Structure 1
Amino acid sequence: MKHLLLIALSSILLVACGSKDDSAKGAPAGKGNGGKKGGAQRVLNVEGYVAELGLLGKNFQTMATLVPKNSVSLSAATSGRLVSLKAKDGAIVKKGTLLAKIDDSELRAQLKQAQSNKMLAEQKEQRVRSLFEKNGATKQDLESAEASLKSAQASVELIQAQLAKTEVRAPFSGKLGFVDVSVGAWLNSGTPIAELSEVDRLKAKFSLPQRYASVIKVGDKISLKDSERNVEKFGVVSALDAVISESSRTRRVMVDVDNAKGELIAGSFVSVNVAMEASNVQSFTIPSEAMILDREGAYVFVSQGGKAKIKHITTGLRTPMSVQVLSGLDVGDTVIVSGIVSLRPGVDVKIKGLRHSINYEVE
């Protein structure tokens, strides 16, 4: 009986399984798991920017720092007590003016002794030379007298050089800053006394991007403006750096500025406007966040027929806000500027808005 019961149960199970298989095979295509259809591809909402063609060039604007034409920290060249101080805070001085004097009494005494020794050496050299000409002295005697005279002369010159170091004189005409010492103070060699700056002539230093590194030359006029004081002047390019910086890809420029009237203050910032001649090369300008870099170079995503497409580009000048595109884009291309991390070639996109409020033009 037990064997018959097991056989009957097995038959029932086989029939049930067969019914499920037949029912699955007979189900309509695309309707399984409750008859739900496959999910549709997601459409990305993005922002676009239609770059307009423009001539490469126009104006380049940047900031420059004004520095004195010449500037030096006046300091003591030797140690000693300060016995005279002619320098005054903020005074205008001429080249060669004596500004400070260190005690030189000991050196002057040494100079008198050295000058006396020199005089004796000169007299001895003259006597020996006279005797030598009369065969009363040997050539060796004459050479010894000449050597003694040269040694005495060197001693005098050495002390005179040491005396010169006790004086601090203006190396050029200019304006003094604040005087940092007082009469009677002991100064060590190198102790600063005051800053002297030539402020009637200034230098403006700024950098040009590599693309513009050759558009100006020595002698060109450059416009500079101090917006805080509403002062605008022209300077003349006096020097261009010999090399382009490897780190920033820029070339340093130096401009001489006439400041005889004192309208500008050294150390302040001024805006620099470099006028470029418009060239025949046209370019697009796009927001910097739209550009992507990979092993093959720079590229952007554009929207074509509702889908994202990659276009490789050649770039020019870059700023934190914008990038110049020299080739790779066509007129009317809508460059995608948002949702970049989610984009892939062929992804469905919908332009939800175009950026026009910010000026991305590269000046």
Structure 2
Amino acid sequence: MHAGTSNFLKAFPIKFAILIATFISLLLVGCSDEAPGAKVPAFKAPDSKAAAKSGAPGGKGPGGPGGRGNKTFAVEGYIAEFHKPSGSFQTMATLEALNRVELSAAANGRLVNLYAKDGASVQKGSLLAKIDDSELKAQLKQAESSLHLAQQKMERTKGLVEKNAATTTDMEAAEASLKSAEASVELIKAQIAKTEVRAPFSGKLGFVNVSVGAWVTTGTSIATLSEVTKLKAKFALPQRYATTLKVGNPITLIDEERAIQKVGKVTALDATISESSRTRQIMVTVDNSKGELIAGGYAKVSVELQSGRTQTIPVPAEALTLDKDGAYIFVVQDGKASMRRVETGLRTPIAVDVISGLNEGDTVITSGLISIRQGSSVRIREIRNNTDYEVD
């Protein structure tokens, strides 16, 4: 009895394992849709036509490479509108005297006469200051005396040569002495002229900086003379307007603080555009015979720009793409992205003027351009405000 029981216990684990395996096999067969003993069909790779129809990778169906043809991109759009050029451009200009000079002494000496008065109007050539020239006048008398002797010697030598009593060398020496004496006189006269300070043009004096009796040296300031019956105004015109003005064009200048408005004319345009500011300097001359404007002040400048400007369509700068063939943008057409080649004009950091290639009313795509290709399906999720992109 004990030996039989022992043998049963040893064989029990093997029998139990066989029973569990049989139960699991029956359970799997019962859950299968296929009838017991049915054959499983072998895997068959889809042919190229099936792959194309399904848009699988590698197919050449509507999706193109990568099978993304059925994907619709949500993008931002911008409605193209013509930008009407601004009627005028306004900026500030500095008013300057038509001519202005710092009158200064051209010689060393004591100031013996001062005719200049603070703020006085003077005529061209008026004597304004006189430096002591007594020493120079004495030198001039001496030089003139030497000149008179040289002239007499020249006349005597000339007569002797005619009588063959003097040689050609004597004649040449007399001529040299005469020329030297004349030069001495001219030099001293020039030095005397430097002791006078005269007005180089008609104008108005500023404050006088010296007094009678003062010792002045070359370069000592006497006063400032300005021609203010006409003023010139200088202002900077942005590069995009650089060719809209010509010499002779009328320009309106306004002193807003004193409600004064004057019309001047363009008299000069700088030959180049500044590389730092990308502006062109313009000079305007305005009549100021009544003294209404003051040199050194400022005025608002109004520049009429209506003529000569092309009507354009401004678009956001990020909508524009460049390649080896030029610039292009994408527009929405029948729910698809359509590429347009465009010609561009003026540009700012945020906007570009499109001259041709774009029609008013077109919806320009402004986002998602990295993923979009010709013919891509697109959906407008937002329309941008067009007033933010005018190129002024």
TM-score by length of 2: 0.67
SS in 2 for 1:282: coil
**CA shift digits 1:108-154 (9 cap, x unpaired):** 11111111111111111111112222222222112111111110110
Percent of paired sites with the same residue:
58
Whether 2:166 is the aligned partner of 1:137: answer yes
Moved more, 273-282 or 138-147: 273-282
From 87, 102, 114, the equivalent of 2:116 is: 87
Q: Deviations over 1:279-338 (max 9, x none)?
A: 583213467x8688988888889899999999886554456887544346543456799x
Q: Report the AA paired with residue 109 of structure 1.
A: A
Report what 2:252 is aligned to.
223
Are 2:192 and 1:163 aligned? yes
Shift of 1:344: 5.7
Q: What corresponds to 2:100 in structure 1? A: 71
Q: Structure 1 residues 315, 195: CA separation in 2 closer, same or farther (over 3 Å shift)?
A: farther
Partner of 1:234: 263
Residue 123 of structure 1 aligns with which residue?
152
Are the equivalent residues in 1 in contact too, given 2:244–2:308 (CA < 8 A)? no
Q: Residue 61 of structure 1 corresponds to which residue in structure 2?
A: 90
How much does 1:98 deviate?
Answer: 0.8
Q: Which runs of 5+ in 1 are unaligned?
A: 1-42
Give the direction of change, closer, same or farther, for the CA distance of 1:215–1:160 in structure 2 (3 Å limit).
Answer: same
Structure 2 distance, partners of 1:130, 1:286, is 95
Is 1:101 paired with 2:136? no
Q: Tell me the equivalent position of 1:5.
A: none
Moved over 6 A (4+): 43-46, 289-313, 319-322, 334-337
How has the CA–CA distance of structure 1 residues 145 and 324 changed in structure 2, closer, same or farther, with 3 Å as cutoff?
same
Alignment of 1:156-305 (within 5 A): 156-278=185-307, 281-285=310-314
* Offset, 1:277: 4.0
Task: Name the amino acid aligned to 1:97.
Answer: S
Give, in whole Å, the separation in 2 of the partners of 1:302 and 1:65: 46
Structure 1 counterpart of 2:110, one-letter code: R
Structure 1 residues 187 and 352: CA distance shift in structure 2, 3 A? same
Structure 1 residue 359: Cα displacement: 9.6
Distance, in Å, in 2 between the alignment partners of 1:306 and 1:100 is 86
CA contact (8 A) 1:57 1:278 kept: no
Q: Which moved more, 1:242-251 or 1:75-84?
A: 242-251
* Matched length: 318
Amino acid of the residue matched to residue 229 of structure 1?
A: R
| One-letter identity of the residue aligned with 1:160 | K
Instruction: Please state whether the residue corresponding to 2:128 is helix, strand or coil.
Output: strand
2:229–2:288 contact (8 Å) kept in structure 1: yes
For residues 336 and 209 of structure 2, the distance between their equivalents in structure 1, rounded to whole angstroms, comes to 71
The structure-2 alpha-carbon separation of the partners of 1:280 and 1:217, relative to structure 1 and needing over 3 Å to count, comes to closer
What is the distance in 2 between the residues matched to 1:319 and 1:264? 36
Identify if the C-alpha distance between structure 1 residues 281 and 218 changes in structure 2 by more than 3 Å, giving closer, same or farther.
Answer: closer
SS of 1:122 mapped into structure 2: helix
Counterpart residue identity of residue 295, structure 2: A
User: Residue in 2 aligned with 1:351?
Assistant: 382
1:112 aligns with 2:141: yes
Q: Structure 1 residues 154, 262: CA separation in 2 closer, same or farther (over 3 Å shift)?
A: same
Question: In 2, are the aligned partners of 1:202 and 1:266 still within 8 Å (CA)?
Answer: yes
Q: Which letter maps to 1:222? A: I
- Separation (CA, whole Å) in 1 of partners of 2:307 and 2:166: 87
Report deviation, 1:171.
Answer: 0.2
Q: Which has the larger radius of gyration?
A: 2
Matched residues in 1 for 2:169 and 2:255: separation? Answer: 74
AA aligned to 2:288 is N
Helix, strand or coil at the partner of 2:312 = strand
How far apart are 1:240 and its partner, in Å? Answer: 2.5
> Aligned with 1:225: secondary structure?
strand
Distance (whole Å) between structure 1 residues aligned to residue 365 and residue 212 of structure 2 = 72
* 1:234-267 alpha-carbon deviations (Å, 9 max, x no partner): 1122222333444444433222211101111112
8 Å contact from structure 2 (residues 347, 391) kept in 1? no
Kindly indicate whether the alpha-carbon contact (under 8 Å) linking 2:129 and 2:198 is maintained by their aligned counterparts in 1.
Answer: yes
> CA 1:122 to 1:169, structure 2 compared with 1: closer, same or farther past 3 Å?
same
149 and 57 in structure 1: CA distance in 2 versus 1, 3 angstrom threshold? same
8 Å CA contact 1:307, 1:349 repeated in 2: no
Secondary structure of 1:171's aligned partner: coil
| Residues 93 and 317 of structure 1, relative CA distance in 2, 3 Å threshold | farther
